[in-house]
Amino acid sequence: MPKSLSPPRVPRPASPAPRAGVSLLEVLIAMFVITIGLLGVAALIPTGHFAVVKSTEADRAAACGRAALSEVATREMLVPTTWRWPTGNYAGPGAALYAAQYGDAFAIDPLFIAQNVVAVAPNYSRLAAFPYDSDYNPPGTPPPTWGPYFLHRITYADVSGTMTPAVLPPSIANRIFTFGDDLIFETERTEPDQRARASVLWNTGRVGPYPDPTAATTDFPLLQQNAGHYTWLLTVSPAATEIGGTSFRKYTVSAVVSHRRDTVYLPIDPSNPPDAENMPPERLATVVSFDGGGYGGGDVTLGIPTGVANAGNNFDAAQREAYLKVKPGNWIMLLGVKYDARISPPRADLGNQQARRVANWYRVVSVDDEVVQESGNWIRRVTLDGPDWEPSDALIPPPFNQSHAVLMDDVIGVYTKTIEVGE
């Protein structure tokens, strides 16, 4: 038999026996991958929670703003005969505030006045400026006469006869100017199967859950409790159609919604300025320049006014940051003086100018990281979104033609509507 010419076969090695499990190294690698993944998911939880909280705040702010504008019409808040200075004096016709006389912008803030009017007694007039001015303390009776860089702040009359001065008391101001839809529910459970129940004020004066099986037959609920975190005030400014028009009737009414607003605070003492943690939540800033020309708000440079701690030179870095504290999503108000030939004689409180105050609110889009010094000014640049703003009126001489900004902490929404004063 002939021999095969092919090479001899080499025997293949036997296959290794299949493993019964995985190695320790593989287990450690798998655990590492899973841990990294779980950490990534965990890192997203605070971000998601923050987004949910902000979404809830925005939703409630919108509801509060709509409700506030409805309250303006329902309660006839723009009827001048109901207005009062913080002293309790009449703030209607004949006063410098009266819209039909000067067409000025002003603020209606009964909640702030009610919370502070007793603490500053007898210097009630110090509350008549918006933002709050620690140095304004005139000896005379309102109407007040101060510089053009503040709005008049007013309230309503006390009809209960319990307040001195006769301004809207805190209990009523809280009921009207606090949004009542952030309701409180009792979460304390004395039994495992007890559910959360609405927290109410009972006729006996106690606050407790409803329904309450232990309540007496004569007990009944009066009012469901709310957290009181959302409050509002009004700013009223001449509508754009009224500038140079034939009347002072139409105004842009803005419901300014705050979350956890601090209405009780001490003013700035120029000789002993507060630390960064205790800076007042209402502050006046100068507008150093409108880098975007004022179109749609645009780029704006804010500065510390000369009268505040020597224009910030007596502040340390933390105090300057706190004074010009602005965050994206916040709102600020621009304030200026516009010429109006209808105003005669010229106004003593506006440097003997034929002029009136105007104001608009703007949403903050972006903010520079730090307060810096340029040309001797401590400044912070911001970008604003809102209506066009005229940087200065050529018919108003310096310094009265300089625009200013009101920085107010905790404002989360501003909702506007054009209304006729007196409606």
pLDDT digits (tens, 9 = 90+) for 187-227: 666 666 667 778 888 888 888 888 887 888 888 888 887 77
Q: Given this model, what pLDDT does residue 132 score?
A: 79
Q: pLDDT tens-digit profile of 320-339?
A: 999 999 999 999 999 998 88
Q: Is the pLDDT of residue 391 over 80?
A: yes
Please report which helix (H) or strand (E) contains residue 33, including its range.
helix 24-74
Q: Is there a contact between 77 and 71 (Cβ–Cβ < 8 Å)?
A: yes
Q: Is the pLDDT of residue 356 over 90?
A: no
Q: Given this model, what pLDDT does residue 201 score?
A: 83
Q: Which residues pair with 415 in a beta bridge?
A: 255
Distance CA 251, CA 421 (A): 7
Q: Is the pLDDT of residue 368 over 90?
A: yes
Q: Which residue do the tokens 């950490």 mark?
A: 39
- Supply the Cα-derived Rg of the chain in whole angstroms: 31
Q: Which of 207, 239, 12, 273 is nearest to 103 (CA)?
A: 239
Poorest-confidence range of 126-130, 219-223, 265-269, 390-394?
265-269
Q: Is there a contact between 321 and 370 (Cβ–Cβ < 8 Å)?
A: yes
Distance CA 74, CA 69 (A): 9
Question: Would you give the DSSP letter of residue 276?
Answer: G
Q: Which residues pair with 357 in a beta bridge?
A: 337
The confidence band for 49, taking pLDDT boundaries of 50, 70 and 90, is: low
Indicate left, alpha or beta for 129 from its phi (over 0: left) and psi (-120 to 50: alpha). beta
Q: Given this model, what pLDDT does residue 139 score?
A: 41
Q: Is there a contact between 252 and 408 (Cβ–Cβ < 8 Å)?
A: no
User: For all residues of the chain together, what is the average pLDDT?
Assistant: 80
Q: Given this model, what pLDDT does residue 267 score?
A: 62
Q: Which residues pair with 198 in a beta bridge?
A: 185, 210
Backbone angles phi, psi at 337, to 5 degrees: -120, 130
Question: Would you give the DSSP letter of residue 401?
Answer: T
The confidence band for 416, taking pLDDT boundaries of 50, 70 and 90, is: very high
Poorest-confidence range of 51-60, 292-301, 408-417?
51-60
pTM over 0.85: no
Distance CA 176, CA 198 (A): 21
Pairing status of strand 250-259 against strand 230-238: antiparallel
Q: What is the mean pLDDT of residues 177-184?
A: 84
Give the largest CA-CA distance in the chain: 138
The confidence band for 145, taking pLDDT boundaries of 50, 70 and 90, is: very low
